[in-house]
Structure 1
Amino acid sequence: MSEKFLLKGISSTAMHAAGHKNAEDAHLTPIFATSTFTFDTAEDGMDRFAGTDKTRVYSRWGNPTFTAAEETIAALEAFGLKDDNGQPLQLKALLHSSGQAAMSTLFLSNLKAGDAILSHYSLYGGTQELMTKVLAATGIEVIIVDMRSLNLVSEALQQHPQIKLVHIETPANPTIQCVDIAAVTKIAKTKNVIVSVDNTFATPYLQQPFKFGVDYVFHSTTKFLNGHGTAIGGVLLGKDLEKMRTSVWKWHVLLGGNSNPFDAFLLAQGMKTLEIRMERHCANAQAVAAFLEKHPAIAQVNFTGLSSHPDHELCKKQMRLPGAVMSFELKGGLDAGKQFINQLQMCVRAISLGTVDTLVSHPASMSHFGIPREERLKYGITDGLIRLSVGIENIEDIIRDLDQALQ
């Protein structure tokens, strides 16, 4: 495909952004299942070590299968966006073995002892534990405020000049709280503080944080990007290409959080159906949320597609659609929640989210098990909260299963 042929659609980008110049004229990017790569001459090896292309040296450093997935994700996050000079936005992506590995690279390549990170209530449990149990142990201070209040963000940055990174997770897991990316980024930039966004729940199809001036975007690719629950992975994207290729890449390879060729291949294939999957996910989720909100057994539904959600208008401003993950509380509390989960017939009892099938989990005992109860409750993660990742099954079957389990 000619570089002059600009792709105009998300699905086209997901399928063709990485190109088709594959070994042996393969239609799909092959699985390069090799730990290392050979050199034709000593000079060839020296050039590869000295150059910026590390995809054909050693697979902890890079691999052509990784590159195909990285280029696709970068193209999706940059789709239709311009840089400060009015040119198409260029991003660098680094594929990791897991979301936690990508998050570790993000934090450790930008923070050192004596620095602080500012984030908000209601984070994924693994992210919060990484901050409070790993970063804190290295001398990096963790400051948590309700970042839906811009006044609290401004006060924190004013009172703590050691803050070097603001990390946003929106929509947040599992309360589905949303943070105003543009407003928080604008405030952070007045203090020359970098901003990162966990875009896992939204995917680049629903939300593009780089549009609002952020510096980094993170995904657990295990979720919607892969879409089929077949592989673990994470990715870190940045717009400072030089830094991503040097210091951030160096932290990535020294921490050893590289992906593997098979998982990268599965990710690349999964992303090809991202647009059509997300359309079905979101349509189903909207219908499920409307059903649950009216059900007599339900006390509260957390879903930004409902006008009752406090972040409904913000969601419409920065997201294409509200997404496919929600949480809800049953009037009977924890006991009713356990009974509901046990009565499900089709929907799947499992942690994780973003797969084509509908997944149901209990955050307090699963994804946020390592968070102290008093902290969970402060963030709205109650003992009876149920998280629902709505799949792409036929909507009548999803609702019928939920309805019978609620009886």
Structure 2
Amino acid sequence: MPDNKNSLTGFSSIAVHAGHTKDPNNAHLTPIYASSTYVFDEAEQGMRRFSGEEKGYIYSRWGNPTIAEAEEKIAALESFGVMDKNGNALQLKAILHSSGMAALSTLLISNLKSGDKILTHFSLYGGSQELVEKILPPLGIEAIIVDLRDLNKAEAMMKADAKIKMLYLETPANPTIQCVDIEELTNLAKQYSLTVACDNTFATPYLQQPFKYGVDFVFHSTTKFLNGHGTAIGGVLLGKDIEKMNGHVTKVHRLLGGNSNSFDAFLLTLGMKTLEVRMERHCHNAMEVAALLESHPAISKVNYLGLHSHPDYYTAAKQMRHPGGMLSFEMKDGLEASKKFIDKLQMCLRAVSLGTCDTLLCHPASMTHFSVPKEKRALYGITDGLIRMSVGIENVQDILMDLEQALNP
């Protein structure tokens, strides 16, 4: 492999090769370094490593060779083809975590303090929603939630409250598949000196690269499409301020203790090698599924960014390569119809999570967003008849047949 990742010209080449360094024993793949700690040749070496004078591993909560490869590969994917403000290839620092929520916690705690406010929008992942509304307030950090698809509302809020320090985006959003304009919102946020962070879990760097539009941080639940096989929990936080990422953010990450482990990092690295080919199939299948659902009499609404009926169709087309592998839809007869439909599925699976090779369906109101109060779910469009679907990479005809038989009386 070329030493410089920028010499590779294709996304899949980056996905396969980036982050890998030659193993001392010439292993094809970076081994699983199942070691909690690392020995020093001499006391002075240990001192140099702790002081930062010498690079090297100390303790796996702080870093691990297997974890490092996964981090560098994700950073290469998110920065592929993206330039910094000086016209140079964008440099990113990635920190792998034990879960998406751990990565999100590091992001928020390392950038916000008591008295600060975070501006975000409705229809976030249920865990993210609870974190900003239940965990942050006792720490003195308030969440302001508005419809950020309305740029006038977004700017009015930024202008009215100087305590707002961060703009947090999740696009496409979970589970309503709402899409906000990353570029326009980031431009507004920078006028008011806000830090901008974006959850890119649903889109992945293959479909969408938020750093291209000037955001400061990108966050993923790597459990989902990046891993792609449902084999490991993980999360990653990426930032373009390398000094801050290596300094304060890394310190917060280490002290919170949400580190990943070598086995999950190994599985993540394997999954990312096929990201492009998987996402192409996910998106192709999702378009076919959305077309079927939109025409079915039992369905009142389909939320898929590839349909012209979606209100955010043009925003998604502007910033995404394809509309994605996620969709949701409303059953006309509400909760009972939803349960009946889900129970009749034969090949597609009843499960939370998303982004795996197999098709997964769940009922957000009673599952992923159960802890969000019902009145807020209704405001956010998470009705009792809403079903979220992560479209897999199976033969699309088999997916369609399973849906049709489950929808029919």
TM-score normalised by structure 1 residue count: 0.99
Unaligned runs of 5+ in 2: none
Provide the residue aligned with 2:30 in structure 1: 29
Q: Is the 8 A contact 1:206 1:321 kept in 2?
A: yes
SS at 1:23 equivalent? coil
Provide the residue aligned with 2:371 in structure 1: 370
* Percent sequence identity over aligned pairs: 65
**In the superposition, relative to structure 1, how do residues 118 and 335 fare at CA in structure 2: closer, same or farther (>3 Å)?**
same
Provide the residue aligned with 1:84 in structure 2: 85
Provide the residue aligned with 1:229 in structure 2: 230
- 1:310-340 deviations in Å (ceiling 9; x for gaps): 0001110000000000000111111111000
Provide the residue aligned with 1:152 in structure 2: 153
Task: Spell out structure 1 runs of 4+ moving beyond 4 A.
Answer: 52-55
1:355 aligns with 2:380: no
C-alpha displacement of 1:53:
7.2
C-alpha displacement of 1:280:
0.3
How many corresponding residue pairs?
407
- 1:326-356 deviations in Å (ceiling 9; x for gaps): 0001111111110000000000000000000
Q: Is the 8 A contact 1:55 1:64 kept in 2?
A: no
CA distance in 2, matches of 1:276, 1:52: 42
Q: Is the 8 A contact 1:52 1:245 kept in 2?
A: no
CA distance in 1, matches of 2:204, 2:56: 26
Question: Where does 1:114-153 land on structure 2 (aligned, <5 Å)?
Answer: 114-153=115-154
What amino acid is the match of 2:13?
S
**In the superposition, relative to structure 1, how do residues 53 and 218 fare at CA in structure 2: closer, same or farther (>3 Å)?**
farther
What amino acid is the match of 2:177?
I
- 1:225-266 deviations in Å (ceiling 9; x for gaps): 000000000000000000000000000000000001100000
SS at 1:24 equivalent? coil
C-alpha displacement of 1:55:
5.6
Provide the residue aligned with 1:2 in structure 2: 2
SS at 2:144 equivalent? strand
C-alpha displacement of 1:384:
1.1
Aligned-pair Cα RMSD in Å: 1.0
Question: Where does 1:4-403 land on structure 2 (aligned, <5 Å)?
Answer: 4=4, 6-51=7-52, 56-403=57-404
- 1:156-203 deviations in Å (ceiling 9; x for gaps): 111110011100000000000000000000000001111000000000
CA distance in 2, matches of 1:280, 1:361: 21
CA distance in 1, matches of 2:53, 2:273: 28
Q: Is the 8 A contact 1:353 1:359 kept in 2?
A: yes
SS at 2:111 equivalent? coil
SS at 2:219 equivalent? strand
Q: Is the 8 A contact 2:2 2:8 kept in 1?
A: no
CA distance in 1, matches of 2:245, 2:54: 12
SS at 1:161 equivalent? coil
SS at 1:146 equivalent? coil
SS at 1:246 equivalent? helix
SS at 1:117 equivalent? strand
TM-score normalised by structure 2 residue count: 0.98
What amino acid is the match of 2:231?
T
CA distance in 2, matches of 1:320, 1:61: 35
**In the superposition, relative to structure 1, how do residues 301 and 283 fare at CA in structure 2: closer, same or farther (>3 Å)?**
same
